[in-house]
Amino acid sequence: MDIGYARVSTAKQDLSRQLDALAAAGITKVFADKRSGATRDRPGLHAAFDHARAGDVIVVHTLDRLGRTVRDTLNLMHELKERGVGVRTLADPLRIDTSDSESPMAQLAVVMLALFAEMERTYAAERAAHARAVATANGRRTGRPSVVDAPNLSTHSCFVIKARPCAK
């Protein structure tokens, strides 16, 4: 049985591209998460693993949907292999299908793509940190929007912190 798994990193991101690709591949049972791939605390991933039996294949759009670090991705792949569950990707530049456990090319592709995913995650974090530093240097505020606006600060002696109203 083919079991689909889709993941995006934040609730604001859209799963439709991955879900459409899984549906086009004929996958009818799909589990999904809207959580970072840097953590294994993903209910959809756990449900997919619990659902998978020996001989099943977990199908993902790209390998980085399973994990964003080499260590975590390889650990996941190892756990699945021990249970007789394969992994297949749909859109990676190097095709992965570990249902044939004797394929050395599949093993090589897993390691290479896991490494690329981790590198991309590192570079994305570096780009974001640089963009925040440039914005701060140019006088732009970064981070979450403030709940208190500057004009109201001067007219009130207190303001809301952690959603507690102040006494007047």
C-alpha to C-alpha distance for 28 and 46, rounded to whole angstroms: 18
Catalytic residues: 9
Higher pLDDT, 65 or 113: 65
**Residue 11 Cα distances to 34, 60, 62, 70, angstroms:** 5, 19, 19, 24
The residue assigned the tokens 């001067």 is: 154
Query: What is the pLDDT at residue 29?
Result: 94
Model's pTM, two decimal places?
0.69
Average pLDDT for the chain = 81
Query: What is the pLDDT at residue 4?
Result: 94
Of 40, 17, 41, 45, give the one whose Cα is nearest residue 30. Answer: 45
Domains of the chain: 2-123 (3.40.50.1390)
pLDDT tens profile 17-53: 999 999 999 999 999 999 887 778 889 999 999 999 9
pLDDT above 60 for 134:
yes
Strand (E) or helix (H) holding 123: helix 104-137
Query: What is the pLDDT at residue 101?
Result: 63
Q: Which residues of 82-102 are buried (b: 16+ CB within 10 A; e: fewer)?
A: eeebbbbbbebeeebebbeee
Query: What is the pLDDT at residue 140?
Result: 86
